[in-house]
A and B are shown apart, each in its own frame.
Chain A
Amino acid sequence: MTAKSLAIYEEIVGRVAISQLKQIADDIEGARVVHVNSTKAGGGVAEILHWLIPLMNDLGLKASWEIVEGHDEYFNVTKSFHNGLQGNHVVLTPSMIEVYEQTVGKNADRLRPVLEEADFVFVHDPQPAYLLKLCPNRKGKWIWRCHIDVSHPYRKVWSYLKGLVSGFDASIFSMPHFAQSLPHAQFIIAPSIDPLSEKNCDIPQKEISATLKKFGISPELPVLTQVSRFDRFKDPVGVIEAFSLLNHAVEAQLVLAGGGATDDPEGEAVYREVVDAAQGNDRIFVLQLPSDAHRTINALQRASSIVIQKSLQEGFGLTVTEAMWKGKPVIGGNVGGIRLQVHNHHTGYLVDSPEGAALRMRELLRQPEKMLRIGQTAKQFVRENFLLTRHLREYLTLMAGFRHGLENDLIRV
């Protein structure tokens, strides 16, 4: 991913939004900001940091990105943390904790000078959280940025991690429902999308048409698309059931596009189930795409009349935000962050069953003007609230707030 400067976002978000960022950043100009996570490649956190660091520097801060390095053993432990925080019962032995603390300890020897000198340290997720205890001479504020839904963690995992993160000056969660009670302020910063990323940028109609042609999808019939891993929580079979219930009352095609499942035994099994469920219907396209097929996904979403995200369990659901940014109405499962984004008749429809999804597919497909209106409303909401400039503004606001005392309701900078 190439670093982009703030100026190129002005055309999308407007002069005022960029000016707001500059005005807030003026107050913390020169602040040394360090972000720490455990990988520079892959995953949502790395994706955020790839744009966040250059934009913070563009605004006059001294932002840098450090990673905690480790071997497979360490990542197996942190994967257990991750699963445990999401509520799965995992095994956490004293030797696993030793591996974790020793690995972070080695990293601390390398990172301590830069971390202890920083004005703000953002520690992303649990992987580097132990660093706090190993940096006793901290000068700045340390903030734990939790990207995971920790509302119902496995108690044994949480009890260990709570001991680590309680010492931070604050924490940030993506949604109020994801938060846990901690002895410091817990801020809410919702995720965002990058409108210029491969996943979301404008692409020429020619490329969209070529993508449809490549997969044998007709440009003449409306397309309904669900983009998600082949995972039972995304309910791809339920989407096929809903599509089948249309029973040709409205002519349309269904695309189920997901990431590569070859390295995931369960993903492969679900993919097979989906292919079986789709068998015999030549208007259903089940596409197994490589994990970096961002432009293909972008083209498929843009070619769609409606985007479906009929999840049975979901985090924030950024695929919904991405669809809305492309001006598409969304039929979404009535769960998690989808509920924050999809509002009936307004930005799409929330559904609780395949029948509900079929009903809304039919309703929307029969009313193209309604699809258009909903799509436009959805895009405007994303433009105003869920692009990366808003995300950046909230980080800046938090830092400015810290500098002036967050105990006040109103701070003048």
Chain B
Amino acid sequence: MAGHSETKNMPFAVKDCALITRMGGVDTAVNLRELRERIKVCPEACLFHHFMETLVRPSFDDPEFRNDFAVWSARYLRDRVLAERLGILNPYKFDNLKHLRETVVEIIDDRLSEMPFVPSVPKGDDFIFMQATTVVFDAGLTLDSPFELQKILPELSYSSLYYHFIEARRRTPQRVDDFTAWCYGVGDECEQLIEAFRTIDFYYLTLPELKKTLIEAIKPISLRGRHDG
């Protein structure tokens, strides 16, 4: 745990966030070649939005893929092969968005080379590039010990969960969730919690599923922690 002692015994201020979405400033794409060209030049904020922020956007949908490029490929281009190749990408496994962008472009290039024509969609089904600003605010709650998470998780908003467990990975130096970063600073007694957080395959879960998974994962550890403490 060396290097994390600065957070030892520090209380954890729970935050929440809200998104305001805007047009990405890139032309829409009506076919796969255009999608490739736009992805190559779009702001990184667009990539982040279409891969990572899909969970916290107001929606009536719970699509089978977590990123918008895969959803569009399946739903509008009707190319399930491409959708699956894009859908399996976990953006958090990439060092940075530049590498993610290169990989997406490569996947599309491969697919274009396999097809005898460039698949396109009718006007109205075009891919619209978006981005968002995240506004972070205090949730009005402070935790003294990671073992309190079990108690507060059911009450935590989905956007707060997104901010601490998912969005955190782009801003923490260790590229981990905020709970893990906090546990690092607390000490050895949190090892099991850290392990529980680490094993959650969060990217493929909806926020309600993630919340349930987290609660289940830390339940026995939290109980033990309470008894030990």
B21 at the interface (CB under 8 A from A): yes
Verify A24–B18 contact, CB threshold 8 A.
yes
B133 at the interface (CB under 8 A from A): yes
B22–chain A nearest beta-carbon distance, Å: 5
Among B16, B48, B60, the residue within 8 A (CB) of A342 is: B60
Q: Which of A15-23, A51-59, A269-277, A303-311 forms part of the interface with chain B?
A: A15-23
B201 at the interface (CB under 8 A from A): no
Q: Which of B3-11, B104-112, B134-142, B184-192 forms part of the interface with chain A?
A: B134-142
Verify A176–B130 contact, CB threshold 8 A.
yes
Verify A185–B22 contact, CB threshold 8 A.
yes
Contacting residues, chain A, for B130 (C-beta < 8 A):
176, 188
Contacting residues, chain A, for B45 (C-beta < 8 A):
409
Verify B159–A413 contact, CB threshold 8 A.
no
Among A26, A176, A406, the residue within 8 A (CB) of B128 is: A176
Verify B140–A23 contact, CB threshold 8 A.
yes
Verify A16–B133 contact, CB threshold 8 A.
no
Contacting residues, chain A, for B132 (C-beta < 8 A):
409
Residue of A nearest to B163 (CB): A410
Verify B61–A400 contact, CB threshold 8 A.
no
CA distance A17 to B16 in the complex (A): 11
Contacting residues, chain A, for B62 (C-beta < 8 A):
343, 346
Annotate A109-149 by CB proximity to B: 1 below 8 A, 0 otherwise: 00000000000000000000000000000000000000000
> What's the dominant secondary structure at chain B's contact region?
strand
B155 at the interface (CB under 8 A from A): yes
Residue of B nearest to A321 (CB): B60
Verify A385–B59 contact, CB threshold 8 A.
yes
A83 at the interface (CB under 8 A from B): no
Verify B135–A400 contact, CB threshold 8 A.
yes
A210 at the interface (CB under 8 A from B): no
Verify B60–A401 contact, CB threshold 8 A.
no
> What's the dominant secondary structure at chain A's contact region?
helix
CA distance A324 to B62 in the complex (A): 16
B157 at the interface (CB under 8 A from A): yes
For chain A, the count of residues having a C-beta within 8 Å of the partner chain is 46
B181 at the interface (CB under 8 A from A): no
Verify B124–A385 contact, CB threshold 8 A.
no
CA distance A324 to B155 in the complex (A): 25
Verify B136–A410 contact, CB threshold 8 A.
yes
Contacting residues, chain A, for B18 (C-beta < 8 A):
20, 24, 393-394, 396-397
CA distance A211 to B58 in the complex (A): 34
A299 at the interface (CB under 8 A from B): no
Annotate B1-29 by CB proximity to A: 1 below 8 A, 0 otherwise: 00000000000000010111111000000
Residue of A nearest to B62 (CB): A346
Verify B128–A177 contact, CB threshold 8 A.
yes
Within 8 A of A (CB), among B150-193: 155, 157-159, 171
Known contacts A176-B128, A342-B60, A381-B60, A187 near B21 by CB under 8 Å: yes
Contacting residues, chain A, for B139 (C-beta < 8 A):
19, 23
Residue of B nearest to A380 (CB): B208
Verify A16–B157 contact, CB threshold 8 A.
yes
Verify B134–A409 contact, CB threshold 8 A.
yes
30 contacts between A and B (CB under 8 A): A20-B159, A23-B16, A23-B138, A26-B137, A176-B23, A176-B130, A177-B124, A185-B23, A187-B22, A189-B20, A190-B58, A343-B60, A346-B61, A346-B62, A382-B60, A384-B58, A386-B58, A394-B18, A401-B20, A401-B133, A404-B135, A406-B20, A409-B131, A409-B132, A409-B133, A410-B136, A411-B133, A411-B136, A412-B136, A413-B137
